[in-house]
Structure 1
Amino acid sequence: MPEVGPLIRRWRNARGLSQLALAAGSVVSLRHLSFIETGRSAPSRAMVLKLAEVLDVPLRERNILLLAAGFAPVYPESALDVPALAAIRDALDAILAQQEPYPALVIDRDWNIRQANGAAARFFRFLQAGHDAAVPGPPNVLRRMFHPDGVRRYVTNWPEVCQALVRRARREAIGGITDERAQTVLREVLAYPGVPPSLRSLDATVPTTPVVPIQYARDGRRFDYFSTVTTLGTAQDITVQELRIECFFPANDITRDNARALAE
């Protein structure tokens, strides 16, 4: 287990903050913060939590900071089906239902699909119909998009979409330091046959267009979608904080008509 001081310094650097800015935001002296980062002072539990709050450290990593400082973790990681998260499940169900007849997914930190609405299930069945080969592992957005047996064969702008996905995965990793689990999945999919080797060194910091539509075509039907990603704010549970709700919206009338036809 690394020491807490270097971890705090790492998060501060990742957020682009000087020691002075972090000290001011945390209402702690610059000298004390410097001593904490170098290991000359041991922070209290309250100080660790305050610094983590100012640095906007994800809950999972806040527990790691506490452990590194010698304190017990405080944030739970619950299964999504426990009674305590009933309100969260109701909220997810409502969002997914509201998105009909267009696809919506709930994905976790590893890009695994945890839940999908009926439109998403219908759409993926339509794309995969007649194909016996299965994408390895649990349902996962990156695997489905990059694997040759996934949906990529029907994505007409696949090179553009896969670049956007790689940048998004790496950008999220930069914001949360390095998420080894997500990066393991990313390394896996970048090694799939037919994936351009240049994606492995793609610069995630290069600005991109705000919206990258995903264009699908199969059996004379065309679907052009763009998506938005929503998180659940003020979460105090690791599982809840790490969920992402991705909703797909039609980019044209052809897509609206074809989505309604699938629903019928």
Structure 2
Amino acid sequence: MTSAMAAQNFPSVFREWRAFRKLSQLDLALAADVSQRHVSWLETGRSQPSREMVVRLSEAMQVPLRERNVLLQAAGFAPMYRESDLDEPAMKPVYDALSQMLKHHDPLPAIVVDRFWNVKMKNQAADLMLSLGGDIEAMQASIGTNSDEINLALLTVHPEGMRPFISNWDQAAPLFIQRLKREADGDPDIRDRMAAIIELAGPMPDIALQAEGLLPVLPLELNVNGLELSLFSVMSTFGTPMDITTDELRIESFYPADTATEAFFKSMSA
């Protein structure tokens, strides 16, 4: 679902989103508090939605703000949500909140990424983690990116990036690739970029996790010149975004999966 769909009529874009969310007309009607007949008539073009109805249906289908603008335009309305740069004055509360979150998470790594997995902000511990494999600028050159921005997904899967240091690649990679595919669904712009990154990962090994002895989370095991670290991550988003940029930002916070990893980051901070 991209801005290219704005040229389509509302019924087709609306129908695609309902199908993508795997909702029946009745399911959507109940979620949006409208009649099933009204949902059907909107999909066939017998009824035209109001601006408020487009927003209500978008919320019920959990459509991202960028794509809600597409739905609004397809229905003949002006876009409702703006897209701001993080350094704009209006975004200062968001930027300050992110800065505080990153600062408070030290001495453990935390990284802010956009919808393409480009790193927008990171704390000192994240700088340390990303540089464990060597100079990050040299690594950027090795993976063939001309951008000053670090792409966390590319850096993770590229053979010249962090991948050689991921000692549990066979276990972690399939789940990470599934995550990239899942987050790219519904947005061809993201899907095209992620497809190139996923291709770099190569064939994925079959993963059969045994329930016995399985941890509550899958750690990311790093082995850098004999230094062994075990981490897992938690992804956070803003709860009530009203700006496209805010809606698409995610904070990945890393936590130690063992005492040795916790001690390492604390010692480096000290």
Does the alignment reach a TM-score above 0.5? yes
- Distance change (3 Å), C-alpha of 1:131 and 1:52: closer
Identity in percent:
39
Comparing 158-167 and 240-249, the one that deviates more: 158-167
d(CA) in 2 for partners of 1:210 and 1:139? 29
Gaps of 5+ in 2: 1-6, 208-213
Show the counterpart of 1:169: 180
- Distance change (3 Å), C-alpha of 1:230 and 1:85: same
d(CA) in 2 for partners of 1:23 and 1:124? 47
Question: 1:79 aligned to 2:85?
Answer: yes
Cα deviation, 1:51-96, whole Å, max 9, x if unaligned, reads: 1121111111100000001110010110111111111111111111
Q: What RMSD over aligned residues (CA atoms) do the two structures have, in Å? A: 2.2
The number of residues matched between the two structures is: 253
Gaps of 5+ in 1: none
Show the counterpart of 1:188: 196
d(CA) in 1 for partners of 2:135 and 2:116? 26
Show the counterpart of 2:162: 151
d(CA) in 1 for partners of 2:154 and 2:52? 41
Question: 1:112 aligned to 2:118?
Answer: yes
d(CA) in 2 for partners of 1:241 and 1:24? 25
Match of 1:60 among 66, 80, 85: 66
Question: 1:215 aligned to 2:200?
Answer: no
Show the counterpart of 1:226: 232
Q: Residue 7 of structure 1: CA displacement?
A: 1.6
d(CA) in 1 for partners of 2:96 and 2:183? 27
Cα deviation, 1:75-126, whole Å, max 9, x if unaligned, reads: 0110111111111111111111111111100011111111100101122222
- Distance change (3 Å), C-alpha of 1:36 and 1:61: same
Match of 1:128 among 117, 126, 134: 134
Show the counterpart of 2:211: none
Q: Residue 41 of structure 1: CA displacement?
A: 2.0
Normalising by structure 1, report the TM-score.
0.88
Asked whether the equivalents of residues 166 and 222 of structure 2 are also in contact (C-alpha less than 8 Å), the reply is yes
Show the counterpart of 1:139: 150
d(CA) in 2 for partners of 1:130 and 1:249? 22
Normalising by structure 2, report the TM-score.
0.86
d(CA) in 1 for partners of 2:226 and 2:87? 40
Asked whether the equivalents of residues 219 and 230 of structure 2 are also in contact (C-alpha less than 8 Å), the reply is yes
SS in 2 for 1:247: strand
SS in 1 for 2:183: helix
